[in-house]
Amino acid sequence: PAPDKKEVIDVLNMVAKREKLNLPEKLGKEIAESSDRNLRRAILTLEATRVQQYPFSPEQKVNAADWEVYIKGIADSIIKDQSPLRLLNVRASLYELLGNCIPPDVIMKTLVKNLLTRLD
């Protein structure tokens, strides 16, 4: 079972302590929230957030992973144009994600989630 939000925050604090980072409580909560209880994603987000800006600020924005932004772009393109050419482009984009070791179930869940938020 996936850890609850508090457990994710505890792991993030432990990782931050081992890396000698000062993680504000608010930022830790935001990272835990954005990771959907996925420890790997939470730790990678912590790392990406550190690269973006350190020392951390409590008001620092938590960025989505590159592949999530890429999938959001795919969803946007699907909504804008439903044509055979767009289907071919989307297919190529999905293969690119697979080639970058993003699991297919994660790709599809994220894509469907992004598409559902744009429906009337």
Q: Tens digit of pLDDT for each residue in 77-116? A: 999 999 999 999 999 999 999 999 889 998 999 999 999 9
Mean pLDDT across 52-78: 88
In the structure, what pLDDT confidence band is assigned to residue 1 with cuts at 50, 70 and 90?
Answer: confident
- How confident is the prediction for the chain on average, in pLDDT? 90
Dump the DSSP string for 64-97: PPHHHHHHHHHHHHHHH--SHHHHHHHHHHHHHH
Higher pLDDT, 59 or 11: 11
The predicted pLDDT at position 63 comes to: 80
Of 111, 116, 38, which Cα lies nearest the Cα of 72?
111
Tell me the average pLDDT across 32-44: 88
Q: Report how far residue 65's alpha carbon sits from residue 84's, in angstroms, rounded to the nearest whole number.
A: 29
Q: Which two tokens stand for residue 45?
A: 């987000």
CA distances from 74 to 18, 19, 104 (A): 37, 35, 15
Tell me what pLDDT residue 120 has. 65
Range 14-24 average pLDDT: 92
* Among 65, 75, 67, 63, CA closest to 111: 75
Report yes or no: 49 and 15 within 8 Å, Cβ to Cβ.
Answer: no
Per-residue pLDDT tens digits for 76-86? 999 999 999 99
